[in-house]
Amino acid sequence: MENTQSNSANPRMDLNFRRKKNAEDMKFQVIAFALTIFLTLVAFVAVGYDGFSHWFIVPFILLLAVVQVGFQLYYFMHMSHKGHEAVAFFLYSGSLVGAITILTFVTIVWL
Amino acid sequence: MSTYAQKKGIGATIWDYLTTVDHKKIAILYLIAGGLFFVVGGLEAMFIRIQLAVPNNDFVSAGLFNEIITMHGTTMIFLAAMPLLFGFMNAVMPLQIGARDVAFPFLNSLGFWLFFFGGVFLNLSWFLGGAPDAGWTSYASLSLASPGHGVDFYVLGLQISGAGTLIGGINFLVTIINMRAPGMTYMRMPLFTWSTFVASALILFAFPPLTVGLFLMLFDRMFGANFFDAAAGGNTIIWEHLFWIFGHPEVYILILPAFGIFSEIFATFSRKRLFGYSSMVFATVLIGFLGFMVWAHHMFTVGLGPIANAIFAVATMAIAVPTGIKIFNWLMTMWGGSIRFTTPMLYAVAFIPSFVAGGVTGIMNAVAPADYQFHDSYFVVAHFHYVIVGGVVLGLLAGAHFYWPKMFGTMLNEFLGKITFWLFLIGFHLTFFIQHFLGLMGMPRRVFTFMEGQGLETGNLVSSIGAFFMAAAIIILLINVVITSVKNEKVGNDPWGDGRTLEWAIPSPPPFYNFKQLPLVRGLDPYWLEKMEGKKGMMPAEPIGDIHMPNNSFIPFVLSMGMFIAAFGAMYQVDDKPWAIPVLILGLLIVFGSMFIRSIKDDHGFHIHKEDLLDEDDKEVKA
The domain of B257 spans 202-270+272-337
Q: Answer whether B293 sits within 8 Å of A97, measured CB to CB.
A: yes
pLDDT at site B619: 53
Reduced DSSP (H G I as helix, E B as strand, rest coil) percent helix, strand, coil of chain B, to 5:
70, 0, 25
In whole numbers, what is the pLDDT of chain B averaged over residues?
A: 94
Residue A1 has pLDDT above 50, yes or no: no
Q: Which residue, among A2, A102, A107, A109, would best test binding to B if mutated, counting the most B CBs under 10 Å from its CB?
A: A109
Do both B211 and B179 map to the same domain?
Answer: no
Do both B179 and B210 map to the same domain?
Answer: no
Model confidence at B152, pLDDT cuts 50, 70, 90, reads: very high
pLDDT at site B615: 67
Do both B252 and B163 map to the same domain?
Answer: no
Do both B483 and B516 map to the same domain?
Answer: no
pLDDT at site A76: 82
Query: Contact, B607 vs B596, CB < 8 A?
Result: no
Is the torsion defined by CA of B439, B443, B444, B449 positive or negative?
negative
Query: Contact, B404 vs B487, CB < 8 A?
Result: no
Residue B185 lies in a domain: yes
Query: Contact, B119 vs B153, CB < 8 A?
Result: no
Q: Answer whether A111 sits within 8 Å of B237, measured CB to CB.
A: yes
Nearest to B311 among A97, A108, A110 (CB): A108
CA distance B491 to B502: 17
User: What is the C-alpha end-to-end distance of chain A, expressed in Å?
Assistant: 48
Give percent of chain B with pLDDT exceeding 90: 92
Instruction: Answer whether B237 touches A (CB < 8 Å).
Output: yes
* Better-predicted residue by pLDDT, B560 or B224: B560
Instruction: Answer whether B311 touches A (CB < 8 Å).
Output: yes
Instruction: State the DSSP string of B302-347.
Output: G---HHHHHHHHHHHHHTHHHHHHHHHHHHHHHTTS-----HHHHH
pLDDT at site B292: 93
User: What is the C-alpha end-to-end distance of chain B, expressed in Å?
Assistant: 10
User: What mean pLDDT comes out for the span A94-98?
Assistant: 91
Kindly give, in sequence order, each residue whose CB lies less than 8 Å from that of residue B544, ignoring residues fewer than 6 positions away. B516, B517, B610, B613, B614
Do both B208 and B307 map to the same domain?
Answer: yes
Residues in chain A closer than 8 A to B235 (CB atoms): 111
Instruction: Answer whether B215 touches A (CB < 8 Å).
Output: no
pLDDT at site A7: 54
Residue B544 lies in a domain: no
Residues in chain A closer than 8 A to B245 (CB atoms): 101
Chain A: closest CA distance from residue B329 (Å): 26
Residue B567 lies in a domain: no
Do both B348 and B326 map to the same domain?
Answer: no
Do both B245 and B303 map to the same domain?
Answer: yes
Please report the beta strands in A1-111, taking only residues with DSSP state E, as ranges in sequence order.
none
Chains A, B: CB pairs < 8 Å: 32
Query: Contact, B597 vs B555, CB < 8 A?
Result: yes
Query: Contact, B536 vs B93, CB < 8 A?
Result: no
Q: Answer whether A86 sits within 8 Å of B289, measured CB to CB.
A: no
The 10s digit of each residue's pLDDT in B437-492 is 999 999 999 999 999 999 999 999 999 999 999 999 999 999 999 999 999 999 99
Query: Contact, B71 vs B45, CB < 8 A?
Result: no
Residue B332 has pLDDT above 80, yes or no: yes
Nearest to B238 among A100, A104, A111 (CB): A111
Residue B524 has pLDDT above 90, yes or no: yes
Q: Answer whether B205 sits within 8 Å of A101, measured CB to CB.
A: no
How many structural domains are present in chain B? 3
CA distance B379 to B442: 9
Residues in chain B closer than 8 A to A105 (CB atoms): 241
Do both B93 and B74 map to the same domain?
Answer: yes
CA distance B283 to B275: 13
Nearest to A111 among B201, B241, B305 (CB): B241
pLDDT at site B612: 84
pLDDT at site A2: 43
pLDDT at site A18: 81
Upper half-sphere CA count for residue B48 (Cβ side, 13 Å): 22
CA distance B286 to B291: 8
Do both B112 and B209 map to the same domain?
Answer: no
* Domain CATH for B531: 1.20.210.10
Give the nearest chain B residue to A94 (CA atoms).
B205
Identify the contact set of chain A against chain B, taking CB-CB distances under 8 A.
Answer: 86, 90, 93-94, 97, 100-101, 104-105, 108-111
Residue B358 has pLDDT above 60, yes or no: yes
CA distance B543 to B518: 9
Do both B326 and B210 map to the same domain?
Answer: yes
Chain A: closest CA distance from residue B293 (Å): 7
Model confidence at B622, pLDDT cuts 50, 70, 90, reads: very low
Residue B116 has pLDDT above 80, yes or no: yes
Upper half-sphere CA count for residue B454 (Cβ side, 13 Å): 16
Residue B280 lies in a domain: yes
User: What mean pLDDT comes out for the span B93-121?
Assistant: 96
Give the nearest chain B residue to A93 (CA atoms).
B289
Do both B176 and B65 map to the same domain?
Answer: yes
Query: Contact, B130 vs B70, CB < 8 A?
Result: no
Residues in chain B closer than 8 A to A84 (CB atoms): none
Q: Answer whether A86 sits within 8 Å of B177, measured CB to CB.
A: yes
Q: Answer whether A90 sits within 8 Å of B201, measured CB to CB.
A: yes
Do both B290 and B427 map to the same domain?
Answer: no
The 10s digit of each residue's pLDDT in B256-292 is 999 999 999 999 999 999 999 999 999 999 999 999 9
The 10s digit of each residue's pLDDT in B36-48 is 999 999 999 999 9
H-only helix segments in B457-554 = 457-487, 526-532
The 10s digit of each residue's pLDDT in A21-32 is 888 888 888 998
Q: Comparing C-alpha atoms, which of B192, B222, B40 is closest to residue B123?
A: B40
Residue B601 lies in a domain: no
Q: Comparing C-alpha atoms, which of B21, B71, B91, B24 is closest to residue B396?
A: B91
Residue B195 has pLDDT above 70, yes or no: yes
User: What mean pLDDT comes out for the span B369-385?
Assistant: 96
The DSSP symbol for B540 reads: B
pLDDT at site B1: 42
Q: Which residue, among A82, A89, A92, A97, would best test binding to B if mutated, counting the most B CBs under 10 Å from its CB?
A: A97
pLDDT at site B623: 45
Q: Answer whether A111 sits within 8 Å of B311, measured CB to CB.
A: no
CA distance B395 to B511: 26
Upper half-sphere CA count for residue A44 (Cβ side, 13 Å): 6
Residue B246 lies in a domain: yes
Instruction: Answer whether B447 touches A (CB < 8 Å).
Output: no
Instruction: Answer whether B238 touches A (CB < 8 Å).
Output: yes
The 10s digit of each residue's pLDDT in A3-18 is 445 555 566 667 788 8
Choose the final residue of a domain: B463, B492, B521. Answer: B492
The 10s digit of each residue's pLDDT in B68-90 is 999 999 999 999 999 999 999 99
User: What mean pLDDT comes out for the span A27-49?
Assistant: 91
Residues in chain A closer than 8 A to B296 (CB atoms): 104, 109
Residue B2 has pLDDT above 80, yes or no: no
CA distance B608 to B381: 53
Residue B483 lies in a domain: yes
Residue B437 lies in a domain: yes
Q: Answer whether A101 sits within 8 Å of B237, measured CB to CB.
A: no
